[in-house]
Amino acid sequence: MANTTQRIGWIGMGRMGYPMAERLLKAGHDVSIWNRTRSKAEPLAKQGGKIVDRLSDLADIDVLFSIVATGKDLHEVYFGPSGVLAGSNKAPPIVVDCSSISVDESADIRRRLAERKSDFLACPVSGNAKVIKAGKLSAVASGAEAAFRTAEPLIKVFAPRGVSYVGEGELARVCKIAHNVMLGVVIQNLIEITLLTNKMGVPRHAFLAFLNNGVMGSMFTAYKSPALVNLDWTTTFTPELLRKDLDLGIELANEMDVPMPVTVAAREILQMHFGMASLKPDPQKYLDMDFATLMETMAIASGMKLESENKPVPTGLEN
C-alpha cells in the first residue's frame, strides 16, 4: 500500500507538471503546489491540492518534486532570493527533479543541496501530457540509491510504466539527453519518409497506419501521426527545447569523443526551421508551436504544399 502520509511538494504546472501532480492527488497523496502563475495551479485545489504562495512554504515537506523549463529556472526556484531554501535552515530531505537540464547544471544543484543535507534525485521523464493521462509515462533516475528507494513509489504514481534507476550522480541526465537526441533524429526521418510517400501519391494517414502497424512503429510514431496527418501543431514540445537538447547531446559527444554525424545533421536541419520561422508574421508564436511544425519547413524544401487530410488517427493513447 502506498504511503500517503508523506508531505509532498510540487513546483511547476506546465504541460507536464500539471498532469503529473494531478495523478499524485488522485492517488490520495498530500501535495502542496507552487507555480509562478498561481491561476494555473488553482484547479488542482478542487482535487485536494494545497496551493502555496511562497516557495519557502515547501522547505519542510518530505519529498519535493520539480519540473521546469531550464536549469536557470531550477536554480532560481531552489536557491533564488524567493526560493525554497531562501532565509531558512530547513530543506526537504529528498528533492526529485524531473526537468531536462544539463549535466553540469544538475551537478551544481546536487552539490548545493548536499550542503543542506538534502538528497537530490535527477528523474527526467519520457512522454507528454497525453502519455501521462494514459498512464504510459516512464522515468529514469540517478542519485543516492536509498533516497531513490524512498521516492520510487511516488514516482511510479505518475510514471506507472516504470522508473529505471541507473546509478549515482547525473547519469539520468545523460540518459534523458540521449533520449531527446533520438527524438530529434526520429521526428526528422519520420517527416522525410512521410513526405516522400505523400509526394508520390500515398495519403499520409495510410502510410502512417502501415508504419504504426508494423515492426518499425512505436508509441512515438503513433502519437505523432495525427499531427503529421492533420497538421495539428498543438504544442507538446517546442523546437527551441529540442534544439537545446540536441546541443547538449552534441556537447557531451564531443567531450567523450563519440561521433554523432546523424545527430549533427538533424540539428542543422532544425536550425533551418528557425530560419524559416523568421519569415512568419509572428516568428515567436510559430516557434512556440509543436516541434512537428518542422514538417512545414521540409515540405517547402520538397516543393510541396501541405493540406490537412482531416482523418481520425489512432494514437494508442486513447482511454
Give residue limits of the domains in the chain: 7-169, 173-301
All 3 cell numbers of residue 315?
A: 494514437
Torsion of CA 46, 47, 49, 53, to 10 degrees: -20
Report the run of H or E that residue 19 belongs to, with start and end. helix 17-26
The answer to whether 298 and 199 are in contact (CB under 8 A) is: no
Question: Residue 277 corresponds to which cell in the numbers above?
Answer: 520561422
C-alpha cell at 290: 509543436
Superfamily per CATH, domain 7-169? NAD(P)-binding Rossmann-like Domain (3.40.50.720)
**According to DSSP H, which parts of 115-260 are helical?**
129-133, 145-158, 171-199, 204-212, 219-230, 239-255
Q: How many CB atoms lie within 10 A of CB 229?
A: 23
pLDDT in tens, 93-134: 999 999 999 999 999 999 999 999 999 999 999 999 999 999
Tell me the per-residue pLDDT of 132-174, one tens digit each, with 9 for 90 and over: 999 999 999 999 999 999 999 999 999 999 999 999 999 999 9
Q: Which residues pair with 125 in a beta bridge?
A: 139
DSSP reduced 3-state for 4:
coil
CA angle, residues 248, 106, 184, in degrees to nearest 5: 25
Q: pLDDT tens digits for 166-211?
A: 999 999 999 999 999 999 999 999 999 999 999 999 999 999 999 9
All three cell numbers of 316, joined, read 494508442
Rounded CA Rg of the chain: 21
* Dist. CA 63–CA 154, nearest whole Å: 9
Q: Which CATH architecture has domain 173-301?
A: Orthogonal Bundle (1.10)
- The pTM of the full predicted model, rounded to 2 decimals, is 0.93
Q: Let me know if 255 is exposed, middle or buried by CB neighbors in 10 A (0-12, 13-18, 19+).
A: exposed
Mean pLDDT across 13-29: 97
Percent of the chain exceeding pLDDT 70 equals 98
Give the residues across from 31 on adjacent strands: 8
